Amino acid sequence: MAYYGQPQGAPPPGHQQPYGAPMGQPQYGQQMPGYGAPQVDPGVLAWFQSVDQDRSGRISALELQQALTNNDWSRFSISTCYAMIGLFDKDFSGTIDINEFGQLWGFINQWRQVFNSFDSDRSGNISHQELHRAFEQLGYRLSPGFVNVALYKFDTGMRRSLTFEGFINCCMMLQQTSYHFQQKDTRRVGQAQYNYEEFMHTAVLCLKP
C-alpha cells in the first residue's frame, strides 16, 4: 500500500506511480495536429484563438493569464501561468502550441472538477477541513499540522482557505515532491534517506517560483 497516495480524482498520469503523478510528464488528451486543423476539438480551438491575442499560433504565460480565473474572477498569478506553461512546453520555447494548449486545458478542467467536488459549502474556496478531506481522499496520509502549513504556503489572500489557483499549486507540489520521494523510498515503506545536497536538489525542483 502506498504511504503518500495515488490521487484518485486527479488528472491521470501516463503510468501509475505509488506517490502521485510526475507532473513534468503529463499525458492528457489526444495529440492535435495543428492550429485550426479539423481534428482539433472546436471548444479548445475557440479558447485557443481567443487567448492567442497576437495571432502567433502559440500561447505565452502573459496570454494564458488573461484566460485563467479563480471562482471570484481574480486572475491567476503570472508565476503560476509560467509553471503551467512549463508542464506542457515540450520544446522549451516558453510558449505552447494548440496541441500543448489542448492538454493544458484538459488538465485545468479536470482539476477544476476535483476542486468543485471538495468545495462542499460552495464558497469558491477550499477551507482547512475541506483541504484535509481532499488530501485523504486523494490518498495522501498527512496530518492536520501539514494542512496548516499548506494553507499558509498557498493561501495568497490570507483567508485561511485556498482559491482554485492555490489548490492547483498545492496539489502540484504534493505530486512533485511525492514523486521525488518515491525515487528514494525504494522499499515502498514510507521512509527514505537523503543527504543534504539531495534534499536541497529536491526542494529547489519543487519550489514554487
pLDDT beyond 80 at 124? yes
Domain boundary among 84, 102, 118: 118
Verify that 135 and 101 share a domain, yes or no.
Answer: no
Domain boundary among 74, 90, 118: 118
The tens digit of pLDDT for each residue in 95-122 reads 999 999 999 988 888 889 999 999 999 9
Alpha helices, DSSP H only, in 10-126? 42-51, 61-65, 78-88, 98-118
% of the chain residues with pLDDT over 90: 34
Reported confidence tier of residue 156, pLDDT bands at 50, 70, 90: confident
Long-range contacts formed by 73-80: CB under 8 A, 24+ apart:
74/163, 76/165, 77/156, 77/165, 79/208, 79/209, 80/165, 80/168, 80/169
- pLDDT for 208 equals 60
- pLDDT for 29 equals 34
Give Cβ neighbours of residue 135 (< 8 Å, ≥ 6 apart): 5, 142, 146, 147, 174
pTM over 0.75, yes/no? no
Q: Is residue 66 included in any domain, yes or no?
A: yes
Number of domains in the chain: 2
Verify that 105 and 135 share a domain, yes or no.
Answer: no
- Cα–Cα distance for residue pair 155/173, rounded to 1 Å: 14
In 78-201, where do the E strands start and end? 126-127, 161-162
CATH code of the domain containing 107: 1.10.238.10
Verify that 89 and 160 share a domain, yes or no.
Answer: no
- Cα–Cα distance for residue pair 160/163, rounded to 1 Å: 10
Verify that 114 and 126 share a domain, yes or no.
Answer: no
203: containing domain: 121-209
Q: Is residue 5 included in any domain, yes or no?
A: no
